[in-house]
Structure 1
Amino acid sequence: MVLLLSGQQLWGQVVTDTTVVAEVVERAAAKVLRSRDIRSVSIGVVVDGKTVTRHFGELTPGGGNPPDDGTVFEIASVTKTLVGYLVAATVAAGKLDIDEDIRSYLPAPYPNLAYDGEPIRIRHLLTHTSGLPGFLPLAWNGVFETFAPDVPARFHALEQQYGKDDFWEDLATVRLSEPPGSTYAYSSAGTELLAYILEQVNEAALDQQLETILTGPEKLAHTQLKLRGTGDAVQGYWMENDAPSPRSFNSLWGGGVGVTATLPDLLRYAALQLRKEDPVVSRSHEILYTDGKSRHIAYCWNVWRDKYGTSYNHHGGTSGTQNWLYVFPDHELAVSVISNHSGPKTAGKLNQTVHRIVRELVDTRR
């Protein structure tokens, strides 16, 4: 859920002493680790250009192996914000218009990707308002809603069996029930199309674009898009399973999941998102969709504004990891929280952890 309180006055002094920030992080970690189902948590904070990272717990039960700054995590759907950044960069370069009909770039006409003459446009993919299903194939939808022990194995088998040709065939079967842009409905299928379109426009694979624009050695040296298996990423656990979950396997373009990163790299990416003067960052934070109530979406970012200021956030989850990334440009503050555990309550507990940290670091007293 996102909330935008328009016109609310912002105030507050942010704690920037890294010793105090570390103490705040340690208190928040101690609280979330009281949950028996969360075995490890890594927390990073960027504040006023300074960085604090702390790691807690064990990556494997009884293993005595806490995560550290070199631990590589699957960041799952936080990948989508990187795709949003690449779209913003491509738009800023004059190579793409977010109001274009997506069918201009697809390998077939796809007359089904319109409703009463209104086509799906790039902006609809960015804001999850395209009307596309959450996943293609449709068999993927609802798998994680059962919370059964065999969910990781079932989903992994589906991932391995599915390819780009299958995606294009399934896309032709989609039928829109209302004009695109009408309703928010989270769609990884839509962000896979964004990745495909980026590859057509920029004439380079998505991983090469990330390497060129975001992940050069001087920037995010330990961040990579890894399709067909996330390689050296730490494995995590689903629910109460003793065996680790399979790593993600994306045989499409990498627009939904597939990026791996260390916590320090996530904070470098967050620091980039705090640069309000950067024209690409500024563009990527523009609100493209609002339902007029509580939901506001930028370039794949949720936008939330309350007494702590405007934040841009995204959650990512697989059957073995969960994480949140929040950036507060008004306060030059960002928080990343990640765990190699995944269950129905993990995302909420990690989100609460972010908010505990923000509450302690941002003094909202007048």
Structure 2
Amino acid sequence: MSALRRSRSRVAVAGAALAAVLAVQGCTTTQDPATDRPGGLGPRLARLLDDLVQQHGFPAAQVTIDGPGGHRVLTAGAGDTVTGAPIGDGARVRIGSNTKTFVATVVLQLVAEGKVDLDAPIERYLPGVVRGNGNDGDRVTVRQLLQHTSGLPDYLASGDPAVPPDPGSPQLRPDAEKIRWAHYESADLVRIAMSMPPRFEPGARSVYTNTNYILLGMLIEAVTGRPAAAEITARILEPLGLRDTYFPDPGETTMRGPHPRGYQDIDGARADFTDLDPSWAGTAGAMVATPADLNRFFAAVLTGKLLPAAQVDQMRRTVPFDRGEPGAGYGLGLIRQPVSCGKEVWGHGGSIPGFETRNGVAVDGTVVVVVVNQLPADHAAADAVAQVFNAAICS
């Protein structure tokens, strides 16, 4: 899973016949007609969404905007390449690393309750777990896990096609068929990580690492005595009424409710990758939500509906990190995202085989989620998704 970044994942571009179908289908909208005047937000976003499908090979793309202008949705392409049906307004998608912000929010709630110390070593809460090959839980703090400054190795491979797979590496490649259907416990994933040496000294820099958030999920369970998924549900989903958001049950491979299909390049061909066991993603990226629910969640985090002001302030203290646009910064499960109009924007984003989401909240109350149902094929495609997000958040 990744945060908002230039994707390095391989994806197949649509064939000529499919591209022709999508070009005819074009962009649909449920937004306020007043914004669809010539030169307005609607036509511009419609053109950008159509470009994602027709020029960059995504099966479908959707942008959902909430805030002062109400609820608006624009969609292009096919959420299902067999039926040609678009992504519906209110359809669920796999949200990948946006899961990390849910986890960070629960951890910071525990901090506010005096049950967790941000600057305590993870060894205090998970004795003996972060050990081996130079990894030392006495030297890694909760804050460093939240901010990706721990230096711990990642149990997931990079997914960069420019980096040949190391046949001797224990890292998981989630687009592999055997990984797709395998079930992993959090402890299994951490053991994979601990079989490798640290990447750098704790606190030296910030490198995005999924292992950090698997450990934070284990921390939540250790402190509360309940699974992290149950705490996320009780502390966030139920209070906010996010009925279309959930953490998959153990062994659950299909998606609940209305949802588009998600696609992945497998050996140069587009494959339906909607169904999978997301246990390899766990508390680093397994959750499912609608864009509208995701908008409500991020708005609630930033406006203090889930956390005291002191903890929101902690979340917004950023460091430079190795992903994202130039000028982006990683806080405690939140990313500060630079945009062309200069607005202050906070969000996260996520990638998982089948889906990518870009999202953020602007200080004026505008909240945006952009969804594509296949990972970008190259930097140009990733930049085109970013352009849609930028246009929507700067409206």
Q: Same fold (TM over 0.5)?
A: yes
- For residue 238 of structure 1, the aligned residue among 261, 264, 267 is 264
- Range moving further from structure 2, 233-242 or 59-68: 233-242
Letter of the 1:285 partner, please give it.
M
Aligned mate of 2:303, from 267, 271, 275 = 275
- Going from structure 1 to structure 2, the CA distance change for 1:189 and 1:110 (only over 3 Å counts) comes to closer
> CA 1:49–1:205 in structure 2 vs 1: closer, same or farther (change >3 Å)?
farther
Which position in structure 2 is the counterpart of 1:309?
343
**1:296 touches 1:303 (CA, 8 Å); kept in 2?**
yes
Q: Percent identity?
A: 21
Q: How far does the alpha carbon of each residue in 1:266-324 deviate from its partner, in whole angstroms, 9 at most, with x for none? A: 22223313415762672463215347x94522112221346522211323112211111
Which of 304, 319, 341 is the matching residue for 1:289? 319
Task: Please tell me whether residue 60 in structure 1 is matched to residue 80 in structure 2.
Answer: yes
After superposition, residues 331-350 of structure 1 pair within 5 angstroms as 331-345=364-378, 346-350=381-385
Match of 2:389 in 1: 354
Measured against aligned partners, the alpha-carbon deviations of 1:14-65 in whole angstroms (never above 9, x if no partner) come to xx97731545543432332332511211211122272212332211225221
Equivalent in the alignment of 1:183? 205
Conserved in 2, the CA contact under 8 Å of 1:84 and 1:284? no
- Say whether 1:122 aligns with 2:142: yes
2:278 maps to 1:250: yes
Describe the SS at the equivalent of 1:96.
Answer: coil
- The one-letter code sitting in structure 1 at the alignment partner of 2:34 is T
3-state SS of 2:195 partner: coil
Match of 1:298 in 2: 331
Show the counterpart of 1:74.
94
CA change 1:147–1:74 in 2 (3 A) is farther
SS at 2:89 equivalent: coil
Instruction: Tell me how far 1:96 sits from its aligned partner.
Output: 1.0
Q: Does the C-alpha gap of structure 1 residues 17 and 270 become closer, same or farther in structure 2, counting only changes over 3 Å?
A: farther
Deviation at 1:71, TM superposition (A): 1.6
Give the SS at the match of 2:48: helix
TM-score w.r.t. the length of structure 1 is 0.80
User: Residue 202 and residue 64 in structure 1: after superposition, are their counterparts in 2 closer, same or farther (change >3 A)?
Assistant: same
CA drift of 1:157 comes to: 2.4
Instruction: State the TM-score, normalizing by the size of structure 2.
Output: 0.75
Structure 1 spans left out of the alignment, 5+ residues: 3-15, 362-366
Matched, 1:320 2:375: no
User: How big is the shift at 1:258?
Assistant: 0.9
1:225 lines up with 2:247 in the alignment: yes
Indicate if the aligned counterparts of 1:38 and 1:339 stay in contact, CA closer than 8 A. Answer: yes
Question: How much has 1:217 moved relative to structure 2?
Answer: 7.3
For 1:145 and 1:228, the matched residues in 2 are separated by 29
